[in-house]
Amino acid sequence: MTTNNPFRVGLETERTPAPCVFVIFGASGDLAKRKLFPALYNLALSRLLPPGMSIVGFATSERSDDVFRHMMHDAIAQFSRRKPVDETVWDDFASRLHYVPGKFEDPANFVRLRERLEALDRTNGTRGNRIYYLAIPPSEFRVVNDNLARAGLVADANDHARYTRIIVEKPFGTDLASGDRLNADLHRVFDESQIFRIDHYLGKETVQNLVALRFGNAIFEPIWNRNHVDHVQITVAEDIGVEGRGKFYEEAGTLRDIVQNHLLQLLMVTLMEPPVAFTANEVRDEKVKVLRALKPIEGEEIAKLTLRGQYGPGNCAGVPVVGYRQEPNVSPTSMVETFVAMRLEVDNWRFAGVPIYIRAGKRLTKRITEISVHFKHVPHVLLAQHAPVEPDVLAIRIQPDEGIALRFVAKVPGPSMTLRPVNMDFRYGSTFGGSGPEAYERLILDAMLGDPTLFARSDEVNAAWRFVNPVLEAWHSDTSPRDLPTYPAGTWGPQAAADLIERDGRAWRRL
């Protein structure tokens, strides 16, 4: 937007997105209905959509604008975080919604799309600005990109009069080779500055608060290193199973679905060096350095430092549930992992020698995502007459009940010097009240503003695959059941996960 607006000086919203047409490919799919349209509607409710902005759904089914609007009204009514639907805001929002039916493979449909977008430019003042959201399987990215380019729907990255941006959803490939191919496909049509790879974990308030905690407070940064940190644990646990997505999960597995993206993103934000500025390239430069410093896990180390598991029948909060192989669309002999644990190390000046334990899985005891930084024991046990002194732990809860807790030791009142750990607990909900924007709202707004700080860059994706790939290959070549232990649904994973950390004399944090 113009930087010459004197009315923006001093206002909270000093930057606003320029009007654009937001095109969603796969507009009738699950992601669009559950996340994208509710997020766009909530932005409208918060008065954050620019005037004139239009939203075009593109999908294969034939339907009119009105039928499409009706469908999206139902989706928003069901999935929006703010209910009920505000009909005044909806009327205005609905007038921005349009639908173009067509198969992605047919270039003629993209010519029709262009005509529709140009008409919107004329009536709504969107000035050729485009954001394309690919809510479609990665296998269809290529044909959509090519047809966009062929139809003249991609502006040059250096065109200052208008912009084109593309938002893509994970998975960014299925291994190193396909990840690179996907990046190459995108780069044939788009400049890296036009590509916004969404990892919704980065849109979560607590992940951003981790940056604030580390770099907005002087007390943590001096001790955030190998001299004071004993080890780090990152847990991404879900209590649900594959929830009808058996077909998808059979091709993905936890390593691809969670570890390669969400978990490594959390790891990067936890361990990165302070960026020189909180701007896109500076932040992402520091993040990718962490991935490059990860000690590769290859050859015999894979069996020693990584493990996988698959959930069997069990219970979820007291309700009996089936095992993974009994889920619909899952092979009864499936060797796909639903649990991963690893011991990682980062070879850099700050964290050399500090083990990072990660675990992620489905059908675990509870849903929780947490990063915990475990500090070293006190150097001299002066006060431990009656009990060992527990080391301090700083825990950052990403979900649910977002917050930060610091465990430290205090004296129990009384005549003897008895110590016990206590928790100082900061909870977002009870401290600030209300709920913040959903991750998708924040990320879509950032994409409209052209701020890629919270999106993954191609070299990050490449470095993440480079790290994960040897493990993937080894697991795929080894199909012996002993390497895929089963754990009962509702537990914290296979016993081997406990062994992985216990052989270092440590234990998983009780969550």
Residues at the contact surface with other proteins, assessed by CB under 8 A: 1-2, 4-13, 16, 18-19, 45, 47, 50-52, 86, 88-89, 91-92, 95, 122-125, 424-427, 430-434
Minimum CB–partner distance for residue 203 and other proteins (Å):
21
CA 177, CA 74: separation in Å to the nearest integer? 40
Which of 73, 200, 262, 374 is an active site residue? 262
| Measured distance between the N- and C-terminal CA atoms of the chain, rounded to whole angstroms | 46
Burial of 6 (0-12, 13-18, 19+ CB in 10 A): exposed
Q: Which is nearer to other proteins, 10 or 222 (CB)?
A: 10
Residues in the chain: 511
Q: Which is nearer to other proteins, 31 or 89 (CB)?
A: 89
d(CA 87, CA 181): 45
Q: Lay out the sheet containing 229-237: strands in order across.
A: 419-427, 403-411, 393-399, 368-375, 229-237, 355-361, 339-345, 306-312, 486-488
CA-closest candidate to residue 398, choices 229, 261, 236:
236
CB nearer other proteins, residue 100 or residue 120? 120
Q: How far is the CB of 303 from other proteins (least distance, A)?
A: 42
**What is the closest distance, in whole angstroms, from the C-beta atom of residue 347 to other proteins in the complex?**
38
Q: Which is nearer to other proteins, 55 or 151 (CB)?
A: 55
Residue 169 amino acid letter = E
Residue 187 designated active-site: no
What are phi and psi for residue 348, nearest 5 degrees? Answer: -140, 175
Q: Which is nearer to other proteins, 430 or 479 (CB)?
A: 430
Task: Yes or no: say if 296 and 325 are a contact pair by the CB < 8 Å rule.
Answer: no
Q: Are 296 and 463 in contact (CB under 8 A)?
A: no
State in angstroms the smallest separation of the CB of 129 from other proteins.
Answer: 11
Question: At its nearest, how many Å lie between other proteins and the CB of residue 510?
Answer: 15
Q: Angle of helix 280-293 relative to helix 458-477, nearest 10 degrees?
A: 30
Q: How far is the CB of 449 from other proteins (least distance, A)?
A: 12
Residue type, 262: H
Q: Provide the sign of the torsion angle of the four alpha carbons 57, 59, 61, 62, taken in this order.
A: positive
Nearest to other proteins of 10, 388 (CB atom) = 10
For other proteins, give the closer residue by CB, 160 or 482.
160
Query: Nearest 5°: CA angle at 329, between 308 and 173?
Result: 60
Query: 69 or 457: whose CB is closer to other proteins?
Result: 69
Cis peptide before 84 (omega within 30 of 0): yes
- DSSP secondary-structure letter at 105? T
Residue 131 Cβ, how far from other proteins at the closest point, in Å?
A: 17
Please name the helix (run of DSSP H) or strand (run of DSSP E) that holds residue 444, with its range, or none: helix 439-449
In contact, 195 and 186? CB cutoff 8 Å? yes
Q: How far is the CB of 191 from other proteins (least distance, A)?
A: 24
Alpha-carbon distance 56 to 298, whole Å?
Answer: 46
Q: Which amino acid is located at 115 in the chain? A: E
Q: How far apart are CA 501 and CA 355, in angstroms?
A: 10
User: Among 317, 366, 373, which residue's Cα sits nearest to residue 511?
Assistant: 366
Just list the catalytic residues: 262
